[in-house]
Structure 1
Amino acid sequence: MQLETYISDLLYRYDCVTVPEFGAFLTNRVSAKVHETTHTFYPPKKVLSFNEQLQNNDGLLGNYIAEVEKIPYEVAITKIAKQVKSIKSYLIEGETIQFEHIGELILNADGKIVFDPSSHINYLTDAFGLSHFSSTDIKREVYKETAEVIVEKAPIAFTPEKRSNNGWIKYAAAAVIVLGLGGYFGYNYYNNSIESHNQLAQEEANAQLDAKVQEATFVISNPLPAATLTVEKQSGNYHIVAGAFRIEANSDKKVKQLRAKGYKARKIGANRYGLHEVVYASFETRVEAQRELYKVRREHNRDAWLLIKNLD
């Protein structure tokens, strides 16, 4: 089982992928930036990090492997535990663990895992197809100084002969002003005539409309009572998953069972593997979702897990 392949797939969709009894790979979005020395432009991306303290199983990795390999969830968890045990033994022996497209893991002198993230892949889907590029520095001050030197060496001067031919320009300018004023007053007169005509037509149309309304006025003596409907619409990007079903009729049955137990269950559509997902409920914040997830695992289903997905 190529564990790093499954982790890499999930990092495109989630900010945290936990490997049970080992640690969690985290992503943090950073904005686009420009390197001041090399003048290189870098697109926005997700920066990877590793937290050895987050080892509790949240069900995300196990459920994903179970879906892809078509195996039971318990078998997927067993396979993960076996590979984690092997990775830890290699780390203790001083080996460097290479996770393709993710990074390298090694133990330091204190026995802590040190993670060196890979820079060959960007897990931010919004930046898909964008790559870094370099631009040469624009030296504006050099061009400005050059222009000033040219002006000093070649000043512009008008000769008396050229100035003497400016008389016809004055007459042309006066003609342009006269024509412009005439056009302006003519345009205003035309607009005022059009507005008066439109206003008379509008008043006539309003009078005809009032007459029609008075002729068509009627009273309903027995109106129907007003109906009030209450529709509860769930929202939020944090969903507690109850299961995923190949046959949609089974997902409908699961929703009815959960609602009978008091949960606000619903279907959120099919995932990219064609499985119809059913959730206990959806929440606006991660804190609310985590609190409900612990309750669901304690009271109903220990295999429930948290899905972060935008349904808009």
Structure 2
Amino acid sequence: MVEKHIKHLLYNHDCVIIPDFGGLITRYVPARINPVKHTLVPPSKKIAFNEKLVLNDGLLISTIAYANNSSKEEARQLVISFVHEVRTRLESEQRFELTDIGVFKYNHEQKLVFEYTEGDNLLEASFGLPEIVARPIRHEEPAVLRTLIKERQAAEPAPARKPFKARLKRAYHVAAGLALTGLVGTALYMLSLQTDYNLSSLYPTSLVNDEERADEKTSSVSIPVQHEATLGQPVPTDVLDASGAGMMDGADAWGDASSNTSGQEAQYAADEFVYEKAEAVEEVAAPAPVTTTVSDKDGRFYIITGGYARMLNAEFSRQEIAENGHEAKVLEPGKGSRLFKVSVADFASAEEAQAAMNTYRKSFGENIWVYNN
């Protein structure tokens, strides 16, 4: 009798407590599809057991007393007798089945466990909904249509094979296309090796050929030309210094030599004068050695304006920056790098370099960055 009331309460309540034994808890299970059996199961309730819910909430005893028109004390005695019977059967048979709800039993650790038995659907919203079987539909063609398709396939002639010459011509065209593609790809690759690409995405500059940059460099630097004076030949005046003072000194020397010595002695004096002037020009033109390339790690912080794949292009950029009055240097690629980096200034600490960034951004843009060598 108690089992019947427990099942009835599970229809309308989410938890039914059996005093001094435990509580049965229900949870909602949505509709589901069984892909193996091809069935559609409606929503339902699944029951679990918690043996710690032993405190009497009065729900089960009040329901039994109202249904039997008896007192609550008589209903409580019925519940106590039911719990005693359940414990006795668990000790003797190691299991007790609650009809249409589940089975109580002890596990290998001698702990009470509950296994839900799917019987009646305890969800009132799904009352009357059966389990639907939905078999997959297999589309089959009519026998007459299958016969017509087979007859048509048998009547159609097999596709004629192309003659050997046509197949050979097609293979020749394919081979020629592949060869032409390979030649074009090789030419483009060789062209890319000879073309100057600026690999720095942080400081893009215009692409200029090496030959044009070399011509500009050659035209911007003045190289003194020395003419060798040969004994017994007149010395041309264009070998002297380009300034007017040099020409006047040469003329005076020539005149003094011709007036005080003979023709041969004058020739020797002029030759010696030319050599002395040439040596003086070389001494004046030779610049003081300045370190413009950094190849080793020095721990300093450089403000970099751009990176280049070739040393020649980096040197051109350094010269342009140096012409504006900055001490530009070229940092050779370190380990794991292939770029020649051009710096506009270097500092002993990162704070000093970051502080100077705003000043250099006015001249070199927002794409400069600090590099720790």
TM-score normalized with structure 1 length: 0.44
Larger Rg, first or second structure (1 or 2): 2
Q: RCO (CA 8 Å, sep 6+): is it higher in 1 or 2?
A: 1
